[in-house]
Homo-oligomer: A and B are copies of this chain.
Amino acid sequence: MDKEDLTRMLSISRGDEKAPLVLKNANIVNVFSHEIIKGDVAIYKDKIVGIGDYEGVEEVNLEEKFLAPGFVDSHVHIESSMTTPSQFAKVIVPRGTTTIIADPHEIANVKGNNGINFILEDSEDLPLDVYVMLPSCVPATPFENSGAVLKAEDLKEFIDHERVLGLGELMNYPGVVAGDEEILDKILLAENKIIDGHGPIIENKELNTYVLAGVKTEHESSTLEELRNRIRLGMYILIREGSAARNLTTLVKGLTKENIRRCLFCTDDKHPEDILKDGHIDHNMRLAIKEGIDPIDAIKIGTLNAAECYGLKRKGAIAPGYYADLVVIDNLEDFNILQVFKDGKLVGKNLKPLFNTTEVDTSKVKNSVNIKKIEKEDLAINLNSNKARIIKLQSHSLVTEMVERNVNIKNGEFQYSNEDILKVAVVERHKATGNIGLGLVEGFKLKGGAIGSTIAHDSHNLIVIGDNDEDILLAINELEKIGGGITVVSKGEVLKSLPLEIGGIMSQQSVEKVSYKLKDMLKLSYEKLNVSKGLDPFMTLSFIALPVIPDIKITDLGLFHVPSFKFIDISV
């Protein structure tokens, strides 16, 4: 800090001169003393300089509304909002989130270090503090081709970046426990930083080993037993409430006055429509309060605790010297976010952003669809008999079932029929290898078209499902044309596309626009293509290619049987 600045701040704090800005008559949420204290908050530039009775050049009368510290999302993949950091900021900041700890795992799988750089650059000047955990598992599995392979030496260039806090979720927890060399290199790289975990299920000695390796946090806990055992070993628990994974209602039942300091909030993955509908970390807090958690504790979990866990200095509380990241809330029951201040500036009001963002260079993360020319014959599925192994979808679940079905064949080649058996193709789209994984899917129920997407966890290859090869090809070509995104085609016509020009997974448009378009396309899928209402076609598509969720998945390398961790033939 500048000495002149410090001198001025002290003078204002003493009351010798008026503060540039004073928030008057607030009910201040004190996360240190666990009290609500009436008073004013004096602000100079980006910092709080005094609490009590202050006069300001500008005064904002908060009329006894509640004032909380800015919220922290302790673990989030911005990519799940399908927008860039700057667009993401525009919806979460007005909802009270002023700090996020992002793991750019998805864009790194597509664009490697260029992807990480994009997240850092696009978030540079936001009224949102974006910290980054370096993706530790790129690719997520060895059973697919991603756009990049990041080893410890690749991550090294970021480790001393001022906004890089450490190593992102160590999903390969068996590898950590086993002491896999490449993982140890990454752990040693982040030795003096923070390491996030992703190690559900494991207990006892394995859990000891995982923690011993340096893993400090866990956001995958879904049971009270997992929560308790992890807190006992010193882990911080990130209580997650996202779009797919919702653990809050269960986990808050395990909180005590004594262990609460070891808990944080996160969203992990939250889709645009859910953020707009429910909110962001404010939603976690609202829900926790509804579940009986003391509102001050709920706020503490999402502020002070996160700052302590991640070593965020001068953040997470309302106190002299702290950044003036402040959230005005109507009351602690309804918990409506009225205004948000970041670094002393009003940046959100009535859930609307009051700031503009500037575009950054996106040349290294655009044009991410790089495929070899595909012909209709490349989509042929040849079978030994009319019996085939099928990916059977289940309603409202990411888990699939492997079933065997009789299908029509002609000259040994699978033929579409009127039955609910669709073709799915995963096209490697990063390095134009020409790899295509082909499979058959039951339960999707689409008729007369195809749906394609370049969001396909975690390698984000191009995936298309359809009931005829022409529309599948059209979808592939459309996705190539728009540089990645989501498309719905029918009978030779593109009905609608959502371009996701950043890596094929993020849009530079607003969350509202993306959400609106998605809704439209969802409607088309259900109404024009008769997709089963029991599933979200885009989310289902994005997870069919993730070879870590049971039972049967498909990657660009073929059909994959998860329980046996082996590729498997479609032919029985």
Chain B's closest residue to A305 (CB) is B261
A7 / chain B contacts, CB cutoff of 8 Å: 179, 184
- The answer to whether A232 touches B35, judged by C-beta atoms less than 8 angstroms apart, is yes
- The answer to whether B233 touches A51, judged by C-beta atoms less than 8 angstroms apart, is yes
- The answer to whether A52 touches B204, judged by C-beta atoms less than 8 angstroms apart, is yes
Nearest CB of chain B from residue A64's CB, rounded to whole Å: 18
Q: Which of A358-373 contact B (CB under 8 A)?
A: none
- The answer to whether A234 touches B184, judged by C-beta atoms less than 8 angstroms apart, is no
- The answer to whether B179 touches A10, judged by C-beta atoms less than 8 angstroms apart, is yes
Nearest CB of chain B from residue A403's CB, rounded to whole Å: 37
Does A160 lie at the interface of the complex (its beta carbon under 8 Å from any beta carbon of B)?
Answer: no
Q: Mark A1-15, 1 if CB is under 8 A from B, else 0.
A: 101001101110111
Complex CA–CA separation, A256 to B50 (angstroms): 25
Chain B's closest residue to A13 (CB) is B209
Q: How large is the interface on A (under 10, 10 to 19, 20 to 34, 35 or more residues)?
A: 35 or more
A214 / chain B contacts, CB cutoff of 8 Å: 321
Does A408 lie at the interface of the complex (its beta carbon under 8 Å from any beta carbon of B)?
Answer: no
A228 / chain B contacts, CB cutoff of 8 Å: 33
A178 / chain B contacts, CB cutoff of 8 Å: 10
- The answer to whether A234 touches B319, judged by C-beta atoms less than 8 angstroms apart, is yes
Q: Mark A296-332, 1 if CB is under 8 A from B, else 0.
A: 1000000000001001010001011110000000000
- The answer to whether B311 touches A212, judged by C-beta atoms less than 8 angstroms apart, is no
Does A34 lie at the interface of the complex (its beta carbon under 8 Å from any beta carbon of B)?
Answer: yes
Does A37 lie at the interface of the complex (its beta carbon under 8 Å from any beta carbon of B)?
Answer: yes
Does A262 lie at the interface of the complex (its beta carbon under 8 Å from any beta carbon of B)?
Answer: yes
- The answer to whether B179 touches A11, judged by C-beta atoms less than 8 angstroms apart, is yes
Q: Mark A248-269, 1 if CB is under 8 A from B, else 0.
A: 0000000011110110000000
Complex CA–CA separation, A506 to B123 (angstroms): 55
Complex CA–CA separation, A261 to B52 (angstroms): 24
- The answer to whether A32 touches B179, judged by C-beta atoms less than 8 angstroms apart, is no
- The answer to whether A14 touches B211, judged by C-beta atoms less than 8 angstroms apart, is no
Chain B's closest residue to A191 (CB) is B1
Given A30-B232, A32-B234, A228-B33; A10-B204 close (CB under 8 Å):
no
A557 / chain B contacts, CB cutoff of 8 Å: none
Complex CA–CA separation, A322 to B233 (angstroms): 10
Complex CA–CA separation, A50 to B188 (angstroms): 19
Chain B's closest residue to A3 (CB) is B184
Nearest CB of chain B from residue A524's CB, rounded to whole Å: 51
- The answer to whether A234 touches B317, judged by C-beta atoms less than 8 angstroms apart, is yes
Complex partner residue of A262 from B6, B32, B320, CB under 8 angstroms: B32
Does A410 lie at the interface of the complex (its beta carbon under 8 Å from any beta carbon of B)?
Answer: no
Does A49 lie at the interface of the complex (its beta carbon under 8 Å from any beta carbon of B)?
Answer: yes
Q: Mark A50-94, 1 if CB is under 8 A from B, else 0.
A: 111000000000000000000000000000000000000000000
- The answer to whether B321 touches A212, judged by C-beta atoms less than 8 angstroms apart, is yes
A482 / chain B contacts, CB cutoff of 8 Å: none
A10 / chain B contacts, CB cutoff of 8 Å: 177-179, 209, 212-213
- The answer to whether A49 touches B258, judged by C-beta atoms less than 8 angstroms apart, is no
Does A208 lie at the interface of the complex (its beta carbon under 8 Å from any beta carbon of B)?
Answer: yes
Complex CA–CA separation, A188 to B47 (angstroms): 16
Nearest CB of chain B from residue A238's CB, rounded to whole Å: 15
User: A10-B177, A32-B232, A234-B321 given. 6 additional CB < 8 A pairs?
Assistant: A33-B232, A33-B258, A34-B256, A35-B232, A212-B321, A233-B319
* Pairs A–B under 8 Å by Cβ, sample size 29: A1-B188, A3-B188, A6-B184, A6-B187, A6-B188, A7-B179, A7-B184, A10-B178, A10-B213, A14-B177, A30-B232, A32-B234, A32-B259, A33-B232, A34-B259, A47-B212, A49-B212, A50-B208, A50-B212, A51-B232, A52-B205, A52-B208, A209-B320, A212-B320, A233-B320, A257-B258, A258-B296, A261-B261, A308-B308
